[in-house]
Amino acid sequence: MPESKPITIEVDLENGTVQGKRTNGETFTYSLDTPEAFAAISHAWLRCGWDTKYVYSFTWLGRPIIQLPEDLIRLQEVIYATRPDVIIETGVAHGGGLAFYTSIMQVYGGRQAIGIDIEIRPHNRTAIEAHPLASMIHLIEGSSTANEVVEQARSQIRPEDTVMVILDSNHSYEHVLNELRAYAPLVTPGSWIVACDGIMQDLVGAPRSAPDWDTNNPVRAVETFLNEDASFELMEPEFMFNEGLIQERVTYWPKAFLRRVR
Ligand SMILES: C[S@@+](CC[C@H](N)C(=O)[O-])C[C@H]1O[C@@H](n2cnc3c(N)ncnc32)[C@H](O)[C@@H]1O
């Protein structure tokens, strides 16, 4: 798939084509039955979804979950294949992510989801603590990069546990890099860290974006971290099932899945 992103697209449903121009000035015309057409339209759809706050419209088992459904399906595939005993999530918000992880963990016998947030609002805490899966959830309030918070999370982990980490709190370069450095040692070989919302780098100029997002974003933090720590590799999760033509994720989490390889 071309690296340069579409900057304009015009979809012609009558003739079954999409035409457009890329950031590098190239123009394109694709038939709608091609992965290239799907990628161009998906790129525009992701931007439109960002501007309309599409991801702020879902719940998982009763709790709001601020994620793109496709990202959740792919994450579910990775969790079910990896079968972590413990999942640590930074950035809890309403707790939908914690309900999501524990509902999958319950199926294969996972033990605990640890949710860390700088502010767990009282109504969210009450609802999470009353949730049917609450016995599998451990909440920690504090900044995810504070030493005492990392230590509290570490104290919940048993030596035999397989551990996965999902970073979805403050998405600035510096914060994500510090989270990667802090939580990487807790991840077991073969398991994953997922650094969410790398889409920020493609959203500069959109409403609800900041001009520095081209560099101040999770993808750059991942790149810096990978240069420091050879025990992790960027790895696209394998599609577990695919009888279609599409080989790439439609995602708010590009370059997000880091696997611990040693
Ligand atoms: C995008 S929301 C998380 C969404 C959630 N993971 C879900 O699936 O619904 C981001 C959350 O990160 C929290 N947050 C921001 N800065 C933080 C920090 N330094 N440490 C921990 N949490 C933080 C915010 O309070 C907010 O609840």
Distance 97 CA to ligand 1 centre (A): 11
Distance 116 CA to ligand 1 centre (A): 8
| pLDDT class of 182 with cuts at 50, 70, 90 | very high
Read off the pLDDT of residues 131-167 as tens digits, 9 standing for 90 and up.
999 999 999 999 999 999 999 999 999 999 999 999 9
Per the prediction, the chain carries an average pLDDT of 97
The Cα–Cα gap between 175 and 197 comes to 13
Calculate mean pLDDT across residues 190-194.
Answer: 98
Read off the pLDDT of residues 245-255 as tens digits, 9 standing for 90 and up.
999 999 999 99
Q: Report the residue among 169, 183, 197 best suited for mutation to probe ligand 1: largest number of ligand atoms under 8 A from its CB.
A: 169
Read off the pLDDT of residues 160-180 as tens digits, 9 standing for 90 and up.
999 999 999 999 999 999 999
The Cα–Cα gap between 166 and 71 comes to 12
Asked if the model's pLDDT at residue 103 lies above 70, the reply is yes
The Cα–Cα gap between 89 and 84 comes to 13
| pLDDT class of 2 with cuts at 50, 70, 90 | low
pTM exceeding the 0.75 threshold for the entire prediction: yes
pLDDT for 3 equals 76
Give the pocket of ligand 1 (CB within 6 Å): 65-67, 89-94, 96-97, 116-119, 143-144, 168-170
Read off the pLDDT of residues 43-81 as tens digits, 9 standing for 90 and up.
999 999 999 999 999 999 999 999 999 999 999 999 999
Q: What is the number of the ligand 1 atom nearest to the C-alpha of 100? A: 8
Distance 93 CA to ligand 1 centre (A): 5
- What residue ranges do the domains of the chain occupy? 6-51, 59-260
pLDDT for 1 equals 58
CB atoms within 10 A of CB 15: 11
Query: What percent of the chain is predicted at pLDDT more than 70?
Result: 99
For the chain, where are the E strands, in sequence order?
Answer: 6-12, 17-22, 27-31, 59-60, 63-64, 86-90, 112-117, 137-141, 163-167, 192-195, 232-234, 257-260
Distance 55 CA to ligand 1 centre (A): 14
CATH class for the domain made up of 59-260? alpha beta
Q: What is the number of the ligand 1 atom nearest to the C-alpha of 116? A: 21
Name the DSSP class of 28.
Answer: E
Q: What is the number of the ligand 1 atom nearest to the C-alpha of 63? A: 9
Distance 94 CA to ligand 1 centre (A): 9
